[in-house]
Amino acid sequence: MTYNISLPFTKLTFSIGNTFCYIPMGKTYGAFLSLLLGTFIVILQVSNATMMNRTAKPAIFIFGDSTADVGTNTLLPESKARADFPYNGIDFLNSKPTGRFSNGFNSADFLSKLLGHDKSPQPWLLFLKTRSNMFSGINFASGASGLLDTTGKDRNIISMSEQTKQFKSYYSILAYSKGQEVANKLIAKSLIAISVGSNDIFDYFKDRSTVDPDVFINSLMSAYEFHINELYDLGVRKFGIISVAPIGCCPSQRLYNATGGCLEIENTFAQIFYSSLYTLLHKLSSSLPDFKYSLANSYEMTINVINHPQLFNLTSIDKACCGEGLLNAENGCNPKANLCSNRNNYLFWDLYHPTQYAYELAAITIYNGGPQFVTPINFAQLVAY
């Protein structure tokens, strides 16, 4: 199988079976070349089993916050965290707002595409109405949710605890309709993707919490461990975990820095979150039989883009494409907001969320990336188990 990938300043062609790689470059960029080689060497090493898994389209179950929400909050009449209005979805089919906090697709969609699906599986609340595509997976993610039940509670969203309960209900429906053996086999082979934690940190600073930072991070890890164990007890064995990005670099947070730079204290929390999660997952892999995981370092992936924007064809890394005021970050995306025309040149869609282009960059790295960005294996290798 041969791939042609066009990226800024380079074109690569390679074959998995024949391990053939072609990289014509008019100019060498050290950091970018290192990133490419680290990523694509791993791709070349992925076995034929991975390709077979892609063809088989394993189910994917998605948990987390607005980075993965594909319409859950739209189905919650009282939710205050929603994106079911323009200009959200302007690059989606028919420029339709879908509830995604994006100009088009988001991370859940691109990860699902890499597994062979057309887009993310449907939200749980929609599945309850349609009862269709049961074997493809379900998206439980809800914008503004966090690891803690208190996070986003005032915005009428679905917490992580409730998301895991919904998964348990899905398992019961599947086992009842198809049999427990079928249900157990499907769940064990499925990919579970979790993207959560940012809102917990945002709320910590917004509320000016006096809780000791170490105690706070430990509480997040305890909650994460609880949620993982709940899913594991239901038969989940493949966990794709996406850590917290440098959220202090979001346009909304740059407003709190007089220089317009990143809010480094929040970035420090994101780094500590990653290192704590790294330790937690290593511990769980030693104590839970057949537990497999892949941990994506969203912090390093995003900082790499912020530090080298020209290598990714980005012209704006600090300003929101859609919004109002300074950095387009004083108000969220709405039908009367300022809207950029060159959306593929922007890192941020609105004051918090990436553009469709940035989501795709992240998903490709998470799925096929090297150990500097995904450890101990990438998502493609995790699926192949």
pLDDT for residue 317: 98
Peptide bond preceding 309: is omega within 30 degrees of 0, i.e. cis? no
Q: How distant is the alpha carbon of residue 180 from its chain centre?
A: 30
Whether 66 is a known active-site residue: answer yes
- Mean pLDDT value across residues 11-30: 37
Q: Which residue has the tokens 């509480």?
A: 219
Instruction: Tell me the domain boundaries of the chain.
Output: 1-45, 59-384
Judge contact between 152 and 159, C-beta under 8 A: yes
Average pLDDT, the chain: 89
pLDDT for residue 9: 35
CA dist., res. 10 & res. 16, Å (int): 19
pLDDT for residue 12: 41
**Residue of 281, 266, 296 lying closest to 369 (CA atoms):** 296
> 191: exposed, middle or buried (C-beta count within 10 Å: 0-12, 13-18, 19+)?
buried
Q: What is the pTM of this model?
A: 0.87
What is the 3 state secondary structure string of 154-182?
Answer: HHCCCCHHHHHHHHHHHHHHHHHHHCHHH
Whether 353 is a known active-site residue: answer yes
Residue 300 scores a pLDDT above 50: yes
Report strand pairing: 2-7 vs 10-15: antiparallel
% of the chain exceeding 90 in pLDDT: 85
CA dist., res. 244 & res. 184, Å (int): 30
Higher pLDDT pick, 20 / 123: 123
pLDDT range class, residue 56, cuts 50, 70, 90: confident
pLDDT for residue 30: 43
| Catalytic member of 136, 145, 203, 353 | 353
CA dist., res. 200 & res. 151, Å (int): 6
Greatest Cα pair distance in the chain: 60
Residue 323 scores a pLDDT above 70: yes
Q: Which of 18-32, 239-253, 321-335 bottoms out in mean pLDDT, i.e. has the lowest?
A: 18-32
> 7: exposed, middle or buried (C-beta count within 10 Å: 0-12, 13-18, 19+)?
middle
DSSP string across 228-296: HHHHHHTT--EEEEE----GGGSHHHHTTSTTS---HHHHHHHHHHHHHHHHHHHHHHHHSTT-EEEEE
Residue 305 scores a pLDDT above 80: yes
Residue 373 scores a pLDDT above 80: yes
Q: Which two tokens stand for residue 84?
A: 């079911």
Q: Which fold has domain 59-384?
A: Rossmann fold (3.40.50)
| Catalytic member of 65, 66, 79, 142 | 66
Whether 350 is a known active-site residue: answer yes
Torsion of CA 356, 362, 364, 368, to 10 degrees: -170
